[in-house]
Amino acid sequence: MIKLIRQSVLPHFGIDATEAKISALGNGHINDTLLVCWSKGELVLQRINTQVFKTPHALVSNADKISHHLCAKALQQQYGLKVVSPYLTQDGELAIDLGEQGFWRAMSYLPHSHCIEVVKSAEEAEIAAKAFGHFASALSDFDATQLEDVIPQFHHLPGRIALLQQAVALDSAKRLEKCRYWVDYALSQQALLDELAEISPKLPLRICHNDTKINNMLFDQRDMSSMAIIDLDTCMKGHLMYDFGDMVRTFCSPEAEDSTALENVKVRQSIFAAICRGYLSELGEVLTEVEKRSLWLGARVICLMIGVRFLTDYLNGDVYFHIHREGHNLDRAANQFTLYQSLLDQETVLKANF
């Protein structure tokens, strides 16, 4: 891939390939992300996975609109984080489409940035939740219908359950017997679907990040303050309860999302409380009362839904998420279902934070 980048990609961005240093960046499940450094600067180069993002031009257009809005907010001193902006091609385009060689885009790189994979303290959780809340607040006056849905019905639990049922029926990779326990567990959560159907029509459409993992908030490594919200690929119109839920999912467990130490996978009450404090400190005046009530629902829906997605991909033969070992997606699914059950077990204590 490095040879392809040097010969076919970097020239479009006006970079001398002979002097460029290229290295892997991050550990995302979907796209290929690299850091490119040369004498005149550095940028983030990314090959979009067009099997997942079937309308990549919409993806880069969405990100461009959001970065312009946030930059304008920053000039008005209404947005205090740094903004990752598109790095245009020499032709002034947001990306280049090389057909079978990939769809490539570049973005600004933020020096001194640092990301973490597992939240170690309530302070880290509150800083990150406050940053995601600040991001959502700054976009609260942006018309959500201006963004295209790059993955239709991305956070649609009934649809995800239907895809799981389809994967079970097909059992194309002959793996059903290895995961039947978790399939039965996932399909037994009808009460959550009923609650979701009741409240969703009452929620306003907002621009949502839709992937508020802890590693999508960059810390400034010099003082560990919040620096920037990154990875705008899934920014679309939706409901903020899902952004809150994904923070709960990715912040609260002391284990990584693919850990097999299920006895340690649980919702840490202090981290959950810190998420509530940080997020609501920025959005308390923005959210409607029904949105505030939906946050607890969002936490449960996201944990269950991501587990369902991992389980479905395992049954389908690992065609969506990158894997690094046999059974990786099944491990991820078991982890997420365990975290979901921890939410249910601690409902009274956790809900007291709202």
DSSP state string for 9-44: IGGGGT--TTT-EEEE----SSSEEEEEEETTEEEE
Task: Provide mean pLDDT across the span 175-184.
Answer: 98
Percent of the chain predicted with pLDDT > 70:
100
What is residue 185's predicted lDDT score, i.e. its pLDDT? 98
**Mean pLDDT for all residues in the chain:** 95
Whether residue 28 is predicted with pLDDT greater than 80 in this model: the reply is no
What is residue 117's predicted lDDT score, i.e. its pLDDT? 86
Report the 10 Å Cβ neighbour count for 230: 21
Whether residue 29 is predicted with pLDDT greater than 80 in this model: the reply is no
| 189: phi then psi, degrees, rounded to nearest 5 | -95, 45
Q: For the chain, what are the domain ranges? A: 2-109, 122-351
Tens of pLDDT, residues 108-119: 999 999 999 889
Tens of pLDDT, residues 134-176: 999 999 999 999 999 999 889 999 999 999 999 999 999 999 9
What is residue 118's predicted lDDT score, i.e. its pLDDT? 86
**Cβ-proximal residues to 332 (8 Å cutoff; 6+ apart), any chain:** 257, 258, 307, 310, 321
Task: Provide mean pLDDT across the span 222-233.
Answer: 96
The dotted CATH code for 122-351 is 3.90.1200.10
Give me the architecture of the 2-109 domain, per CATH: 2-Layer Sandwich (3.30)
What is residue 40's predicted lDDT score, i.e. its pLDDT? 87
Tokens linked to 158 = 């009934």
Tens of pLDDT, residues 308-352: 999 999 999 999 888 999 999 999 999 999 999 999 999 999 999
What is residue 149's predicted lDDT score, i.e. its pLDDT? 95
What is residue 52's predicted lDDT score, i.e. its pLDDT? 86
What is residue 18's predicted lDDT score, i.e. its pLDDT? 86
Q: What is the CA angle 173-178-179, rounded to 5?
A: 95
Tens of pLDDT, residues 71-128: 999 999 999 999 999 999 999 999 999 999 999 999 999 999 999 988 999 999 999 9
Rounded to an integer, what distance in angstroms lies between the CA atom of residue 337 and that of residue 304? 6
CB 131 within 8 A of CB 274: no
Rounded to an integer, what distance in angstroms lies between the CA atom of residue 65 and that of residue 69? 6
What is residue 171's predicted lDDT score, i.e. its pLDDT? 98
Task: Provide mean pLDDT across the span 260-284.
Answer: 97
Task: Provide mean pLDDT across the span 242-269.
Answer: 96
